[in-house]
A and B are shown apart, each in its own frame.
Chain A
Amino acid sequence: MNIRRSKLFLFPIGLLLLASATGCSTHSKPQISRVAESLLESEAEQMLWEKSEREQRTLESNGLVYADPQFEGYLNQVVARLMPETVPANLVIRVKVIKSPYLNAFAYPNGMIYIHSGLLARMDSEAQLAAVLAHEMAHCIQRHALRAFRKYRNQPAYLIAVQQTLLKTKGLQKLAHAMGVTGAMAAISGYTRELEAEADRIGFEWVLRAGYNPKAALSLFDQMLSDLAADGLEEPFFFGSHPRIRQRAENLQNLPEPAMIDTLASNNDRQAFLAKLDQLLIDNARLDIRLGRFQVARTSVEKFLSIKPDDTRAYFLLGEIHRQRGQRSDVQTAIGYYSRAIRLDPSFAAPHKAIGLIHYKKGQHDLAKKFFESCLQLSPDSPDKAYIKGYLKQCTISEES
């Protein structure tokens, strides 16, 4: 059997060739007329759109997109509210969510905006969401990708460098391949300082006109900066970089204070917004727990509990955060959360096992046995039953001795 993985790894080289070819073609027209220049630009835009569509197909076929049509519908309603009156007829702005705990949102030139679940989980209001979306919409509507293309078309090495940054970044190679060059540029490096400032200024106007508080994004940026510092997070994306977030915050601070800011407060309804995020908060917390980012995971779960205070899975996850963090003082807290999960849903097996594990590790085998047995009774076909049976066997040996 001939297994060819070479394409996967030769992909960046192929991109280099492709980008070089693009660069070469622009060099071959030294005496170009204004009409021809305009045609060339239109061709360039068409090429960017086609490339975007290809990259989006790859992104979506790799299972990276969060499938929740209802939530997607909500995001697109916010976009519709922000939409300016004059938009190119063929440009349709749409939003989708990427399952990734990293902080990011980026737009393709054809109007497709992707926002990471990690960034959504950090938000507290629709106004913050509106600010992020309006900024990305401004990139699409102001054709920033085309303007960047003009600037970088003779610098293919730059585009390759951007994508290779992502390819080298732990855990993100799949995303980098899927995004391709266009997505990678939008996602990692952002556009130039001027284009980012323009997107902030225009987005600010749209957010204000739609009745949101445009300065609400400042608290999101503060939250992101403190999360990045608290967990020592290192992220490769535009929104995961301290200087970029600070730059965005400065841009916003420098814009004038809206006159009617008090009347905009009603759009800052935290609970209503969190209710929209709903399951996404829990799903993203699970991703953060896997990555060992316990503090941000805990914040997401606590947000979820503020809208669903009796959710057994949320208490179980809080228990997991404390147990897995592995600090001695956390053990009792973890047991408290697991016990609450059991009280809310006595048939939920997972917290029984988790309490059993804590007792088992403490050498309290009689207590551990009770919880392991109840776990197996509730879930006899649990995938981890071989481990649980092993613990029970050890508990019995310990009892007999």
Chain B
Amino acid sequence: MKRLLWLSLLICVVSLLACAHSGGLTKPASYGYKVNIPEGWRKIDNNRYLLLTKENPFQQYILVQNRPIGKSFRHTKKKMHTTMLPEEAAQIVVDELISDQNLLNLKLLNNTPLNISGYDGFKILYTYQDGEGHTFKTLYYGFIKADTFFNLRFTAADRFHFQRDIDAFRLMLKSLEIVKAKKT
């Protein structure tokens, strides 16, 4: 029962972080993706994004999302668009993170341009604390392809799990392949 409660709470918090709920009706993303799931990691069922963990999501998780660029974020009213530079897209993500008061003492450690699977994008590294003072670190990759904003992020406890599991995330990132989305 307790485990079930934890899981439902986790789904809530990840949904917040994934910025997947808010906003009005938008067209579904035109592009999807393929990735190789790292060995030993398991999928947490979700039909909106790919959520993976090795032990449990409070220790580490990988989240992959393809969202239509017109979709609203939870906090900022700013929207992405097709002609945006990677830096401008990164700025919206940073604005969204800073406006999210769930992420206590958020520190932006790095925000740099990066080519991700052949697409111009960005990489953001930040830390934040939860309500109990535990520090988490997130590596966030993002890029825009046509009308789709792709983002892949790895979040883990900063003390130990981040360094231990980051290579699995990097390996998965290398396998990323963008494909035309299936029409539903």
Where the two chains meet, the residues of A that have a C-beta atom closer than 8 Å to any C-beta of B are 1, 3-9, 11, 62-63, 170-175, 177, 231, 287, 290-293, 324, 326, 357, 360-361, 383-384, 386-387, 390
Contacts and interface: CB of A to CB of B under 8 A. Distances in A.
B75 A1 contact: no
Nearest to A170: B74
Contacts of B100: 171
Interface string B70-84: 000011111101010
Interface residues of B, number: 37
B158 to A, nearest CB: 10
Interface string B94-112: 0100111110110000011
A4 B58 CA distance: 8
A396 B9 CA distance: 51
B26 interface: no
A326 B81 CA distance: 10
A387 B87 contact: yes
A62 B99 contact: no
B110 to A, nearest CB: 8
A62 B100 CA distance: 13
Given A290-B98, A326-B81, A384-B87, A3 B76 contact: no
B74 A7 contact: no
Nearest to A177: B131
Given A1-B161, A5-B131, A291-B76, 16 more contacts: A3-B59, A4-B58, A5-B9, A5-B58, A6-B9, A9-B13, A63-B105, A173-B102, A174-B101, A174-B104, A291-B75, A324-B78, A357-B85, A361-B83, A361-B85, A383-B111
Nearest to B161: A1
B161 A4 contact: no
A231 B83 CA distance: 24
A387 B113 contact: yes
B159 A386 contact: no
A324 B95 CA distance: 12
A7 B131 contact: yes
B22 interface: yes
Contacts of A387: 86-87, 112-113
B92 to A, nearest CB: 9
Contact of B101 (A172, A324, A384): A172
A230 to B, nearest CB: 12
A150 B102 CA distance: 32
Given A291-B77, A291-B95, A9 B111 contact: no
B9 A9 contact: yes
B98 to A, nearest CB: 6
Nearest to B75: A171
Contacts of A390: 113
A372 to B, nearest CB: 12
A62 B101 CA distance: 10
A93 B32 CA distance: 57
16 contacts: A1-B59, A5-B134, A6-B6, A7-B131, A170-B22, A170-B75, A171-B101, A290-B98, A291-B75, A292-B78, A292-B79, A293-B77, A357-B85, A386-B113, A387-B86, A387-B113
B167 interface: no
B58 A292 contact: no
A8 B157 contact: no
Nearest to A325: B78
A383 B78 CA distance: 22
A8 B113 contact: no
Given A171-B75, A172-B101, A175-B101, A5 B160 contact: no
B159 A173 contact: no
A393 to B, nearest CB: 10
Nearest to A231: B77
Nearest to A390: B113
B130 A8 contact: yes
Contacts of A63: 104-105
Contacts of A9: 9, 12-13
Contact of B132 (A5, A293, A357, A384): A5
Contacts of A326: 81
A99 to B, nearest CB: 10
Nearest to A174: B101
B76 A290 contact: yes
A3 B157 contact: yes
A292 B22 CA distance: 15
Indicate the member of A5, A62, A63, A386 with the most B CB atoms within 10 Å: A5
Contacts of A171: 74-75, 99-101
Nearest to A168: B12
Contacts of A293: 77
A290 B112 contact: no
Given A290-B95, A291-B95, A324-B78, A173 B6 contact: no
B153 to A, nearest CB: 18
A68 B103 CA distance: 23
A267 B180 CA distance: 65
A5 B130 contact: yes
Nearest to B60: A3
A-B interface, 8 closest residue pairs, ranked by CB to CB distance from nearest: A174-B101, A292-B77, A8-B131, A292-B78, A290-B95, A9-B9, A386-B112, A171-B75
